[in-house]
Structure 1
């Protein structure tokens, strides 16, 4: 499926899982705007050239869901818990409990009491519940430590990664960025004379993050070479060299997102006829 940022008109390819955490809202990886992706959601892109995707009305009545594939059974009433007080008729109750605060001569026809075995069972159940709670807390703490130690592997895992992202969205936390330069794919590139620097070149590249998780902006190495493949110039660009907004650098390149990168280099001369990109 595809959607479009209404501010910068950037078109993104999205999966259904990425629309669930914020009820269809996404943050544009190019301009940082937050928009409702459902407004321009499309299964296929229209034939080029196009400027805007078709916008859908979002104020209509909900459609009726008619084809059911599962319906849970009605739960049966739970049995009464053990250990409740028992009411039994007793003959001569005054004589039986005369030493326990019951006055002789009083007329009792029923006696309510809790058997000793029920009281002992209740105490044991409380002790068992306390031990289970302590053990559960210890196991959860150990699991949290292991998860933090292996956080990069868990975030990059195709099974646990989306679940962690959903949990973090609900809890209001942020997952750490995991560097995976091998998941970055160069879609398009171009080089032209710098519009304001006489001996400069302006190199643009469109890069797509094939990973399902966000990763930091990479270190980009650009190599200019001649027709024989001989290297004429090389420069390594740190993220702050081509992403000026610190907030965008902090968020990183979102999973499945595409971004445009612009680099300024010095013109090595007419012999430079080829250039290559690499990510670290």
Structure 2
């Protein structure tokens, strides 16, 4: 049996059925103003209907069941409406409960308005591309790249000159402007000193002769290191400790600035003035 209910907010009258009222404990949402109210409490008598032409014949169109209103203590225990969206009633609650199922399947699906309004066009504003800004960006990027290359060249100039000898004249020219120098690599791990020995001078009293061999195991020339020589007595206590510069232990014919060539060795020899009676041993090391 069809009944008439009225929205207390906007006074819009609707035609409902007993099945629709029992489904959600009488809680409905007005299709005109979206107000949720209890349809049982606002049923109208036939004489109280103002104008039958204004009464909707299809309740599925003119009112919606509220999922929030359905979550009340009056909802049926076996129904779970907590996950139902706020949508219009489907065909199962329409004013024509005995409609053919095949007719409902053939009808076009109802698409919500917010989905119908979606535009496939990209509504974002196009990026601002200015030729002048692009030129500025390219110029700044090139300048930054040049600065990075110059910094890398400055800090690796020694290794570059050693591994690529043809670049050394250019690096030396650049260093004149920057007040730096292109030196020979100082990689002490590539050098060893071996065959060290101390002998008394045959002609000069109180003079000892220190001799050894310095070897370069690397693939590039290495700067000549300092030779640290320590003379000890019988108790292994230092009697004399001296640091020998390259010019003090190399022959005058050796080009100290060119460094020790790769895979080469150089004889080391120097004279030490000390009382040979106090010296019984020695220790030798190299360092930069």
TM-score (norm 2): 0.42
**Which structure would you say has the larger RCO, counting Cα contacts within 8 Å and 6 or more residues apart?**
1
- Give the alignment's TM-score, normalised by structure 1: 0.43
